[in-house]
Each structure stands twice: as C-alpha cells, then as structure tokens.
Amino acid sequence: MKTRNALIAFWFAAGFVLSVYAMPVSEDFTTSEHRDAIGTNADWNTADGVLRLPSTRSKLFENESSAEMIPINREAGWRFSVTVPGAIIGLGRYLISSDLETYTLHLWSDSGNCLATALVSGATGWAWADIEPVQVSTSSFYRVSVIVSSGSVFGTPIPYENDYIKLTSACVSTAASGFPDISTGVIAGVPDILFRTKYNTYAEGRSKAYDSGTSRARYLSYSSIHEISSGTINYEFSFSSDTVIWFAWLTDIENYITYRYVRWRAILTSPDGVETPEISSITINSNSFPEPPAPSLPSDTFYVNYTSPTFFWNEAFDPDSSGAVYRLQVADNNAFVLPAKDISGINSLFFQVTGLSPGGWFWRLKAKDDYNDESGWSGTFSFFVDTSDPTAIANLDAMTGASNGEIKLTWTSPADPPFNIISDYEIFYASFSFLVADILSVNSTSGPSPPKSPGSLEIFTVSALQNSATYFFAVRSRDAAGNVSYLSNFAQAITNAPPSISVLFPLAGAVLTGNNDIIWQISEPNVGDAFHDISIFLSKDGGGSYA
C-alpha cells in the first residue's frame, strides 16, 4: 500500500509564537540548480519533479519513425520478452499524421491474460499513456497490441533486441480485436512499450549549498513531501560558514544554531527494487540572525562637549525579519566590564544617553529579531566627553610683517585639559580698537593649521592689509570637542609701506651736459627698514621714455 507523508519536525516551544518572517529554503526537483552532481547517484528527475532510486528506461522503437503505412484492420502488435527484471510503465503507438481517434492499447501475458489497458489520442509521431507498473520477468513472454486499421512500417528485422527488450515476432488478432494470437513476419510498427528496469536498492541525493542570508542562522525544522510504496527515506543536514568546509551530517536540526549555509542529503532504499520511494519536495525552515548593526555617531575617536550624547547607527541587515530592536552599551573600558549604560529594547536607530562624566568612553550595540535571536556585538567605537574650554592665550604679540600690507603674530599654544587637543584658531582684527563684544562685526581668519602642541610657539602672518595702517588683533582657540577659549589679550602693529623718494638735483626741466651728480632724498615710514636697491632711469626724449 502506498503512503504519502509530510515529515515535519515541529519547532513550537511553550509560549512561543512563530514569526511569519522565517526564511525557508525549498527544493521541488523541477530544476537541477541545486543538485550536487558529485554526491547524487539517485534519479533527480526534473521532468517528473521527484527524487527517486535510479532505474533504466527503454522502448522497442526508440527514436524510430516511418512514412509508410500498410492496412491491418486487426488488433496488431508484438511478442517480446525482457532481458532484466523490471516493469512496463507505459504504452504508446505511432502515426504518420495526426487524427482525431482515440486508440486502445493492451498489454497481454503470452497466454492471453490482459495485464493493462491504455487509451491514447491520435498525434503525429509517438503518443504515450502511463499505466500502473506491471512487473515482468525474464522467464516469460508478453504481447502488446492496439486496435487499428493500418500500421506504420519500420525497417527493423525480426528478431530484434536492444539492451533490455527482445522482440520475437509480430502478431495480430484472429478477430477484429482481442488477443493477438497469430504470429506474423510483417513489421508493422503499431504499438510500443515503455520498460523500466528494477530500481537500485540504495541511492543518495544531495543538494548544493543554500544561503540562509546572514552569518548565523537558527534552523527551526525541515519538512518533506514524499511517497513510499516500500523502502525507506532518511534525511540528513550539514552546515558551513563558507561552502568549502562542511561539518558532520545531522538528523535533528530542530532549533539548531549554526552557520550560514545548509545542504541536505536524502538516503533512499528499497528492499527488492520493485518500488522506489519518491520525494517531491524538501523544505528547511530557518531564521537568519541579524547582522551586527554599524555604529555611526559619535564616530570612532570623536570628541563631544556635552554629557548627554545621542548615539546613531545603521539598521541591522536581516533578510527574514523586520522591526529589529537594539541593545546599546556605553563603558569607560573597551572590555565593557560593568558598563555605565546598558539599554535594551530600543526600537529606533538612535538613542540619547545622559549623565556621562568627562573622559574617554566606548560604545557598541547589537540587534535582536522577532525570534529573540541576537546578532554579535558591533565594532567598538571610542569617543571623548570634554566640557573644558582651552586656556585663553595671554601673550599675543603683533609686529610689522616682512612685506607690505602684512603683520606677523606670535603666541604660545594654550593648554586644553584634559586631552590637550587644539583643533583650530580664530584670529579677529580691525583697523580700529575693538572689544570682545565686537568680534562678530570685525574681520576674521583661521590661524595656523594644524595647531601645535601646548606650550609651542605659534607664528602666523596676516596679509592683504592696507599699507602704513595700524591694526588691532585678538585670538581664540577651539578644541576637538568644540569648546572655545576666551579671547586673548589684544595686540596692535602697523603694516609695512614702500618708501617715498624725491630728486633734489637736478631740478625738473634742467638740461645737463658733461658729468653731473644726482642728489635725492628718501623718506621711510617704517623704522628699521634697510635700503636694498636704488635704480636711476634717464630720458633722452624730454620725458617721453626712460631707460
């Protein structure tokens, strides 16, 4: 008696509700995409959509065709035997061209008992019908026939045989229909049989890897739809993190937590090869663990100037769940021993933590899905809480620059406890004296970058200023956390300017002959400048040009 079963390992635990997001992988054998050719010697039959024990199939007139017909008007066919044990599983007939008739075919014992009947409709070439398998032995003869008015002529000699079937003679019925008891020598290709050898008594089918989606998965159950007339089917499963190294085969995967990739193996047996178990589908239900979420802000080694930072992260990848919740830890050590903050059940992608003291901190998080399966911890990010302003600069000095329109500034890089990381300077200046309250209305520029370590001499030149003008300056610093120092002392200086020159002799318009002295006077607005070069230009055309 045939039985059709769905073997299901149930995964329900007390009080546990199955999520609709679990990701199954399923094989229905209609394609060979996941067939592992090395590990499969079973018949993975994509036409029938089943996995079964292998057997060989044969027909009398495999690939034969004919364009010639002869009249018969009888039930005509063939007497044959088989060379190996097996079963007749189909009957067919050949037509040169299609017609609308339905033809009756019979399979007979050699003594005239009808073993099977099939109906086929007219079609060009061969038309076939499946029958309930009829077991045949090598020690008996059988006949196949069809009631027809004419049959195709094949150029096949009698006797004829292939590897599995031996044709001894043609035969026709005495009457218009019935058992074809009369042997003839005419090869009129009318009916045919589909012979199947006995099945192997043992074979295995094995799949390639299926991807559960993330690095870890919980395998909840498997199910199969199969048909067993006799024999057995055993299922086994193996897992891998990379599809190269596979772990031992397991029979029980209920609630089993392991790696990303899974494959199955089905072991089929038959006690005598007469029948085969058949599998039409295998389904593996799993839940992919979420991948660790990626921290975003505060970014690694970031500085903040407040004790209640808001943490941001990217959504955790999980192909078969939605609505992950997150757990956030903040600690003053990267081992997260006794974390200062440990918050679970966060259902957004950000969270504000309060009450952190100044100093160095570390943070990480993990995600949890609908099955309460948690990802691993994310990468660890460090950040620094710094609420202290840098020390105000007290020794700002200004002096005339080396070039026109420039003023050189100097000061000592300030301390910035507790981390001493100055990120930038702001220089404020104007051609008039100003106060702290005026800095938003005066000129400003960035100072030297990057700033030097505390106690170092900083030098910076402000250029593009007006010549011979007095300018007033003040500087403040900002640290990596954004804390801003008080304004420095004020300093002032005059910009450089070019000297002026006047000719004392000869006077304008004078005409000179022979050797003459030229006398001039220079006025230098910047005390201490040295004279480096004097150029004298003469005109021979009344001032039209000079050389």
Q: Is the pLDDT of residue 329 over 90?
A: yes
What's the mean pLDDT in 368-395?
95
Unique residue bearing structure tokens 């956390």? 481
Residue 39 CB-density burial (10 A; 0-12 exposed, 13-18 middle, 19+ buried): middle
Can you give the pLDDT at residue 6? 35
What's the mean pLDDT in 360-365?
98
Q: What is the C-alpha separation between 309 and 305, in angstroms, rounded?
A: 9
Residue of 212 and 428 predicted with greater confidence: 428
Same fold for the pair 3-54+201-288 and 295-385: no
Can you give the pLDDT at residue 21? 45
DSSP state of 496: B
Q: Is the pLDDT of residue 10 over 70?
A: no
Confidence of residue 4 (pLDDT cuts 50, 70, 90): very low
Residue of 1 and 79 predicted with greater confidence: 79
> What residue spans define the domains of the chain?
3-54+201-288, 68-196, 295-385, 397-494
* C-alpha radius of gyration, the chain, whole number: 49
Residue 154's nearest CA partner among 55, 63, 280 is 63
Residue 368's nearest CA partner among 377, 360, 380 is 377
Q: Is the pLDDT of residue 222 over 80?
A: yes
Q: Count of alpha carbons within 13 Å of 377, Cβ hemisphere only?
A: 13
Residue of 413 and 546 predicted with greater confidence: 413
Percent residues over pLDDT 90 in the chain:
67
Can you give the pLDDT at residue 392? 97
Find out whether 433 and 450 touch, Cβ atoms under 8 Å.
no
Pair of tokens at residue 298: 């505060």
pLDDT tens track for 173-187: 999 899 999 988 765
DSSP for 438-469 reads GGGGSEEEE-SSSPPPTTPEEEEEE-SPPTT-
Residue 477's nearest CA partner among 434, 399, 413 is 413
- The highest-level CATH class for domain 68-196 is mainly beta
What's the mean pLDDT in 259-281?
94
Q: How far is CA 320 from CA 246, 369, 470, in A?
A: 24, 9, 72
Unique residue bearing structure tokens 């998965």? 217
Can you give the pLDDT at residue 38? 94
Which of these ranges, 64-73, 148-157, 519-528, has the smallest mean pLDDT? 519-528
Which of these ranges, 66-70, 312-316, 447-451, has the smallest mean pLDDT? 66-70
pLDDT tens track for 493-545: 999 877 778 888 888 777 777 787 888 887 766 666 666 677 777 777 777 78
Q: Is the pLDDT of residue 404 over 90?
A: no
Q: Are strands 295-297 and 256-269 parallel, antiparallel or unpaired?
A: unpaired
Q: How far is CA 27 from CA 31, 208, 319, in A?
A: 9, 11, 19
Residue 11's nearest CA partner among 257, 260, 248 is 257
Average pLDDT, the chain: 89
Can you give the pLDDT at residue 65? 82
Evaluate if pTM is beyond 0.85.
no
Percent residues over pLDDT 70 in the chain:
93
Pick the CATH number of 397-494 from 3.20.20.150, 2.60.40.10, 2.40.30.20, 3.50.50.60: 2.60.40.10
Residue of 94 and 262 predicted with greater confidence: 262
Can you give the pLDDT at residue 531? 61
Is CATH 2.60.40.10 correct for 295-385? yes
Can you give the pLDDT at residue 526? 67
Confidence of residue 49 (pLDDT cuts 50, 70, 90): very high
Q: Is the pLDDT of residue 121 over 60?
A: yes
φ, ψ of residue 253 in degrees (nearest 5): -120, 15
Task: State the fold for domain 3-54+201-288.
Answer: Jelly Rolls (2.60.120)
Can you give the pLDDT at residue 527? 64
